[in-house]
Amino acid sequence: MQRIGSVMTETAKVLIDGEKEATDVNNSVSYVVSSEDKYHGNRRTQWRQWLACISATLSMVAVGTVYGWTTTSLFRLTSGDSSMPFNLTDDEGSWIVSLTVIGSMIGPFLGASLSDKFGRKRCLMISSGFYIVGWLIVLFAKSVEALYISRVILGVGVGISYTTNPMYVSEVADTNIRGALGTLIAVNVFTGSLLACSIGPWVSLEILTAILLAIPVLFIACFMWFPESPHFLAAKGRKSEACKSLAFFKGILDPEEAKKELNLILRGMKEDSYKAAPGQSMEMLKHTWTVKLKMLLLPNNAKSLSIVVGLVAAQQLSGNFSTMQYLEVLFKKASVGIDSNLATILVLAVGLVSGALATATVEGAGRRPLLMISTFGSFVTLAILAVYLMLDAKEMDVSSVNLLPVIDVIIFQVAFQIGLGTLTNALIGELFPTEVKGVAGAIVTIFDGLLGFAVSKLYQVIGDSLGSYTVYYFFSVSCLMAFFMVAVFVPETKGRTYNEIQALLSGRKLNSASRSDENNYV
């Protein structure tokens, strides 16, 4: 294939003081166009964005296997199963769940730092190393302490993946598919959980662990071929590489068009940096965490952080994480009418389908309607489950409806995954500017970890002392409160450019004049 290179050079000047706005001039770039691309003209494509984001979120499949391993193995480890290398007490089992959460609170610090220093792509590649080491420890573990260490290491990988994936996906995706690609983060977590739970009951712990070890290796093999995020490259001043990355992801064939896209990104970055630190150049702000924290405290960013933290709290206080971790145990205690392993697989499969449904509908239905349906549906289904568990605990005859917990949890998964479970990570990428996505993602993931740790530990403690139904009544009320929060505070970001979203957060009305040709600016 014959390649034609064209080189364009110009001068970049930035004048910043207290009364003047940043002025952006075209920067030196080099751009390579193949003869095949030239034949197709200037038509844009998005299939590379889909492939890149699907490959990137394979690391979230690894996250799902971390959770799915607990779901499928915890009962076998605590039930005295002779095929297990060792057995755990219920308390040790709860620590297996909780230590993963502790690791996931360490991961965001690494994720935010590494993604800003080395790039989103390299950071995601690094996260796979934690999965590989963690599963190797599980594979050769002969004591409970070894399992504890492995769960912390795996949790660190989880924290890095959750912090970095929304950044990469949102910076790669065009506005009109950004929400759909953002939901892949949660969908692939379910894919990993379903994979682990579908294999786990039928094989030994060693074989299951070896299979799960292959997931991060597969991720590396698939993702290593895709470029770095153009936003990260632009922020680092690597403008030639940023132009090539933009051209690759968006199918841009005209070098001039690629430069215009790059200048939109640079202009937005300079405006945000100037608001946080007037009088300083963007070069001075590249590695300054103090400035990034100042930017996070700007009114729009603070409001965005409050919204995302509120949605994360709703996720955890819905009890979904705890329910899924103890799903097999819950079904065995409730004496459901079918095999608990099959019931668990069925619930996870429905959750995966529901997440995929969110991917297919989010760009048409919008974020707010799906979140409102999700939170209200979760409220109703959790209330029904609480009533069933209360009647069962009071030794009332519920044998005629012993399939109710399975059916109810399935409907709960449909409600949860269609909005609350899938869209929160997408909103992290949509609401924050590039420079603070790492810091914001770290704060959100740490908060998620702290709350998840508390909920997962108290789930067992409160359930044993006051009954499981008490816990689920609390989860139900939390979802009802989340419904009102979404209705009042969460903006609709469907089809909005970054600047339009910022206008919504500021309370300004959008008009036709405010809609520029920045259709692909995140």
The total number of residues written for the chain in this structure: 522
For residue 56, name the pLDDT band (cuts at 50, 70, 90): very high
What pLDDT does 283 receive?
46
* The two three-digit tokens of residue 116, written as one number: 């800003």
Comparison of pLDDT for 294 and 251, the residue scoring more: 251
Q: What pLDDT, on a 0 to 100 scale, did the predictor assign at position 288? A: 59
Q: Is the dihedral of CA 155, 157, 158, 164 positive or negative?
A: positive
324-367: pLDDT as tens digits: 766 666 666 655 556 667 777 777 788 788 888 887 777 788 88
Q: Per-residue pLDDT averaged across 381-385, rounded?
A: 92
Whether 423 contacts 183, CB under 8 Å = yes
Residue 23 has pLDDT above 50, yes or no: no
Alpha-carbon torsion, ordered 463, 151, 429, 434, to 10 deg: 140
Residue 401 has pLDDT above 90, yes or no: no
pLDDT for 272 equals: 55
* pLDDT tens digits, 423-478: 887 787 788 877 787 788 788 878 887 887 788 778 777 877 888 888 889 999 99
DSSP 395: T
What number is the average pLDDT over the span 108-115?
Answer: 86
> Mean pLDDT for the chain?
78
Q: Which of 151, 162, 208, 170 is nearest to 188 (CA)?
A: 162
Q: pLDDT > 70: what percent of the chain?
A: 80
Q: Closest by alpha carbon to 103, among 349, 449, 397, 402? A: 449
- Integer angstrom CA distances of residue 471 from 318, 373, 402, 459: 10, 22, 20, 7
C-alpha pair distances (Å), 445 with each of 56, 284, 421, 424, 512: 18, 27, 14, 11, 37
Q: In whole angstroms, give the CA distance from residue 319 to residue 471.
A: 8
Q: How confident is the model at residue 521, as a pLDDT?
A: 40
pLDDT at 404: 81
Q: Partners of 51 in the beta sheet?
A: none
pLDDT higher than threshold 50 for residue 516? no
In the prediction, which pLDDT does 271 show?
A: 58
* Higher-pLDDT residue of 12, 74: 74
Nearest Cα to 355, choosing from 163, 131, 176, 179?
Answer: 179
What does the pLDDT read at residue 252?
83
What is the pLDDT, as a whole number, of residue 293?
75
Residue (of 382, 379, 385, 368) closest to 419 by Cα position:
368
Does residue 190 contact residue 247 with C-beta atoms inside 8 Å? no
Is residue 514 within 8 A of residue 500, CB to CB? The reply is yes
More reliable by pLDDT, 84 or 475 = 475
Whole-angstrom CA distances from 218 to 69, 137, 308 are 18, 19, 31
**What is residue 284's predicted lDDT score, i.e. its pLDDT?**
41
pLDDT score for 5: 37
Task: Give the pLDDT confidence score for residue 32 in this predicted structure.
Answer: 34
Model confidence pLDDT, tens digit, residues 170-218: 888 888 888 888 888 888 988 998 899 889 888 888 899 999 999 999 9
In this prediction, residue 446 carries a pLDDT of 83
pTM of the model: 0.71
Label residue 41 left, alpha or beta by phi (over 0 means left) and psi (-120 to 50 means alpha): left
Percent of the chain with pLDDT over 90: 23
